[in-house]
């Protein structure tokens, strides 16, 4: 198994772009495929502040700003969670408005560096068959001058592509999968999983039977993805499951684990988009507390 630094991750079906790429890879593609590679910065108001203003203060040249809140998710509902997927029609329209065409290769990053937000865009595109990758190291890895201000783009028409049923899971599928002995991975930090701390959702804990693999542990001390061998060891628990499921708080950072799993050849797992925000909103759903599944 090669290191993630070589960007030789698994490929998704017909796609020729690995799920995780380095800045060197991006430089090569920008030099050879000018106009076909679109760089995107994903931001959200979840952490407070103005992510659009942050983008305008300095970004990878020509990088489009993609709002997690308004492009990659619909408004929250009860059991659908805090970041439901938009309809295929709305997703196509929103991407078209920022000039992302059907045949563009998208490379996404965020200011967190690790890609916890940008992974959502990459996952959404990959599951509908569009080449997309997460930039390892995020904006901090960019080694050339940045560009400030707005990025002017021309809107394009996009094809509407449905969300594949094999890519997503709901609460019933999660419960059935656990009952059948399948692997379900909770991507949140250990304190939230254990129920010791819940800063966002009204109920603490985790889905009974889910194991805890916090997504930040995909990264080394420098904020880059760990080597392929390290990730293989990390996700060994899922190697025997052909259809594992990942979740987090609201279906965003779970995509980071999904991409890491695809990167090492496990294929894309299903994402429970409602995640803990959806599961815990239903009083009929059981809840586990503590460090164990």
pLDDT tens per residue across span 211-262: 999 999 999 999 999 999 999 999 999 999 999 999 999 999 999 999 999 9
pLDDT of residue 214: 98
Q: pTM for this one?
A: 0.93
Residue 152 in this model has a pLDDT that exceeds 90: yes
In sequence order, the β-bridge partners of residue 77 are 81
Q: pLDDT band for position 78 (50/70/90)? A: confident
Read off the pLDDT of residues 170-225 as tens digits, 9 standing for 90 and up: 999 999 999 999 999 999 999 999 999 999 998 999 999 999 999 999 999 999 99
251: exposed, middle or buried (C-beta count within 10 Å: 0-12, 13-18, 19+)?
Answer: buried
Alpha-helix runs per DSSP H in the chain: 23-32, 51-57, 88-97, 118-127, 171-179, 190-194, 228-234, 254-263, 275-279
Tell me the C-alpha distance between 65 and 40, whole Å.
Answer: 6
Mean pLDDT of the 121-128 span: 98
Q: Is the pLDDT of residue 58 over 60?
A: yes
Helix and strand numbers (H, E) in the chain are 9, 10
**pLDDT above 90 (res 112):** no
87, 55 contact by CB (below 8 A): no
Q: Which of 248, 254, 258, 281 is catalytic?
A: 248
pLDDT value of residue 48: 81
Q: 51-55, 112-116, 211-215, 249-253: which has the minimum mean pLDDT?
A: 112-116
Is 248 one of the annotated active-site residues of the chain?
Answer: yes
Lookup result for tokens 């995780």: 20
Distance (Å, rounded) from C-alpha 130 to C-alpha 83?
Answer: 21
pLDDT value for 49: 87
- Provide the mean pLDDT of the chain: 93
Mean predicted confidence (pLDDT) in 92-116:
94
Domains detected in the chain: 4-141 (3.40.250.10), 168-279 (3.40.250.10)
The pLDDT of residue 27 is 96
Mean pLDDT of 20-29: 96
pLDDT at 9 over 90: no
* Cα 192 to Cα 201: distance, rounded to the nearest angstrom: 10
Q: Which helix (H) or strand (E) holds 184?
A: strand 184-186
Give me the sign of the Cα torsion angle 190, 253, 51, 18: positive
Rounded distance between C-alpha atoms, residue 235 and residue 11, angstroms: 18
Would you say residue 63 has pLDDT above 80? yes
Find the mean pLDDT for residues 276-287: 96
Confidence of residue 14 (pLDDT cuts 50, 70, 90): very low
Query: Higher pLDDT residue, 77 or 257?
Result: 257
**Nearest residue to 26 via CA among 124, 134, 120, 140:** 134
According to the 3-state scheme, what is the secondary structure of 225-283? ECCHHHHHHHCHHHCCCCCCEEECCCCCCHHHHHHHHHHCCCCCCEEECCHHHHHCCCC
Compute the residue count for the chain: 293
């Amino acid at each position: 198994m090669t290191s993630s630094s070589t960007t030789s991750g698994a490929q998704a079906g017909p796609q020729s772009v690995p799920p995780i790429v380095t800045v060197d890879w991006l430089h090569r593609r920008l030099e050879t495929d000018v106009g076909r590679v679109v760089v995107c910065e994903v931001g959200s108001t979840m952490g407070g502040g103005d992510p659009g203003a942050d983008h305008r203060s300095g970004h990878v040249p020509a990088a489009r700003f993609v709002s997690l809140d308004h492009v990659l998710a619909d408004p929250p509902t009860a059991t659908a969670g805090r970041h439901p997927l938009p309809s295929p029609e709305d997703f196509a329209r929103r991407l078209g408005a920022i000039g992302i065409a059907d045949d563009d290769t998208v490379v996404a990053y965020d200011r967190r560096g690790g890609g916890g937000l940008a992974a959502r865009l990459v996952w959404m595109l990959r599951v509908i068959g569009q080449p997309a990758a997460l930039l390892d190291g995020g904006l901090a890895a960019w080694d050339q001058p940045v560009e400030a201000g707005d990025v002017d783009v021309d809107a394009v028409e996009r094809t509407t592509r449905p969300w594949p049923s094999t890519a997503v899971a709901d609460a019933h599928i999660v419960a059935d999968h656990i009952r059948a002995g399948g692997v379900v991975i909770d991507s949140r930090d250990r304190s939230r999983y254990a129920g010791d701390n819940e800063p966002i959702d009204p109920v603490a804990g985790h889905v009974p039977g889910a194991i805890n693999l916090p997504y930040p542990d995909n990264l080394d001390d420098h904020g880059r993805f760990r080597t392929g061998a390290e990730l293989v060891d990390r996700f060994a628990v899922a190697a025997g499951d052909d259809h594992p499921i990942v979740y987090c708080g609201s279906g965003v950072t779970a995509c980071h684990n999904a991409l890491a799993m695809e990167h090492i050849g496990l294929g894309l797992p299903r994402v429970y988009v409602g995640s803990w925000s959806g599961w815990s909103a239903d009083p009929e759903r059981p809840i586990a507390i503590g460090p164990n599944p």
